[in-house]
Amino acid sequence: MLRVDIRDRLAVLTLDRPGRLNAIGSDTARRLTEALNDVRDDDDVRAVVLTGAGRAFSAGADLGEIESFSAPGQFRAFVGRLTDVYALLAAFPKPSVAAVHGFAFGGGLELALACDLRVAERGARLGLPEMKLGVLPGAGGTQRLPRLLPTAIAKQMILTGEPIDAERAWQLGLVNELAEPGGVLAAAEKLAAGLTAGAPLALAAGKRLIDYGLGMDLETAIAYERETVSVLFATEDREEGLKAFRERRPGEFRGR
C-alpha cells in the first residue's frame, strides 16, 4: 500500500498499489499518517517526496471501498480520513514535493495539492473528475486548487471535471517544474535535496508564515513575520549560518 525509503535526508513515500492505479483508500490513509508521524520525529529526514508506483501517481480515492458504503455517514468518515492526512501533510514541518507522472486525479491530485511543491512529467494529466460522478472533491480539492490557480481556471476544472496537462499546469504555476518522461522522481528528489540544505527551524517557520499569513491582513502578517524571525535569530542555526557565510562554506544546520 505504501513504501517508505529513507536516503540522503529524504523520505520517499511511494503509493504502492499499481494494479489499482494507486487508488487511495482507508488503509493507505492510515499508513500514510503513520509514515508522516515517523518521519516528523526522525531528525535525519529533512524533506519528503511523494510518488506513485507503476504508470500513474494516483487515480484518486478508492471507488471500490466507496461503493461498499451503505450510508452517508460511512462516506463522511472516509472523506474525513483523507482530509485529516492531507491536512497533516500540508501542515507538516518538513517540506514536501509531489512527483507526478501519468495522471493525478481526484484524491490523488488532492494529495499532490497538499504538498508544498509539485514536479510533473511532461504529458501527465491533473484533474478533479468528481463532477462526472455527480459529486465534488471532498478532501480539500475545492479549497486548495483555487488557492494555487486563478479562480476561473480552478472553477473550470472543478465544475467540468476536465483535467489539464502538465505543461498547462506548469504555465499556470500549479506545477513548479516539468520533467522528461521517466525522470520525474529524480527531478523531485533533486528539488527536495535543495530544500534539505536549509535550516530545519527556518524551513518550518517559512511554511507557517506563508500558509498562515495568507489568511491574515497584511499588517498582521508582517507583525507575525517580525516575531517569527526574531525567534529564529536566537537559534544555533542562525549562528552557524552567519559563521558559514563568513567562512564561505555551506552551513551545517542541526535544527537547534
Q: Do domains 2-196 and 200-246 have the same CATH topology?
A: no
pLDDT reading at 254 higher than 90? no
User: Tens of pLDDT along 76-132?
Assistant: 999 999 999 999 999 999 999 999 999 999 999 999 999 999 999 999 999 999 999
Distance (Å, rounded) from C-alpha 140 to C-alpha 145? 8
Helix (H, G, I), strand (E, B) or coil at 2: strand
C-alpha 248/C-alpha 235 separation (Å) is: 20
Distance CA 99, CA 78 (A): 25
The structural domains of the chain, with segments of one domain joined by +, span 2-196, 200-246
> Residue 145: pLDDT above 90?
yes
Q: What is the pLDDT, as a whole number, of residue 157?
A: 97
Distance CA 98, CA 191 (A): 10
Instruction: Write the CATH number of the domain with boundaries 200-246.
Output: 1.10.12.10
Active-site option among 65, 110, 121, 227:
110
Look up 130 and say whether it is catalytic. yes
The C-alpha atoms of residue 229 and residue 225 are separated, in whole angstroms, by 6
Catalytic residue among 34, 67, 121, 130: 130
* Residue with more model confidence, 235 or 163: 163
What was the pLDDT predicted at 238? Answer: 77
Q: Copy the grid coordinates of residue 117.
A: 511543491
Residue 1 has pLDDT above 90, yes or no: no
Query: Among this protein's residues, is 180 annotated catalytic?
Result: no
The CA distance from 17 to 120, in Å, is 20
CATH code of the domain made up of 2-196: 3.90.226.10
Q: Please determine, for residue 252, whether its predicted confidence score (pLDDT) is greater than 90.
A: no
If one counts every other C-beta atom within 10 angstroms of the C-beta of residue 68, the result is: 10
Task: Give mean pLDDT, residues 20-35.
Answer: 96
15-37 mean pLDDT: 96
Q: Provide the mean pLDDT of the chain.
A: 93
Give residue 6's pLDDT band: very low, low, confident or very high (50, 70, 90). very high
Q: What is the SS3 assignment for 48?
A: strand
Q: Is 13 exposed, middle or buried (0-12, 13-18, 19+ CB in 10 A)?
A: buried
Alpha helices in the chain (DSSP H): 26-40, 63-67, 72-90, 107-114, 141-148, 151-160, 166-172, 184-196, 200-213, 218-233, 236-246
User: pLDDT tens digits for 211-244?
Assistant: 999 999 999 999 999 999 898 888 877 776 776 6
Could you count the other beta carbons within 10 Å of the beta carbon of residue 98? Answer: 29
Kindly give the pairing relationship between strand 177-179 and strand 47-52: unpaired
Instruction: Give the Cα separation of 44 and 157 in Å (integer).
Output: 39
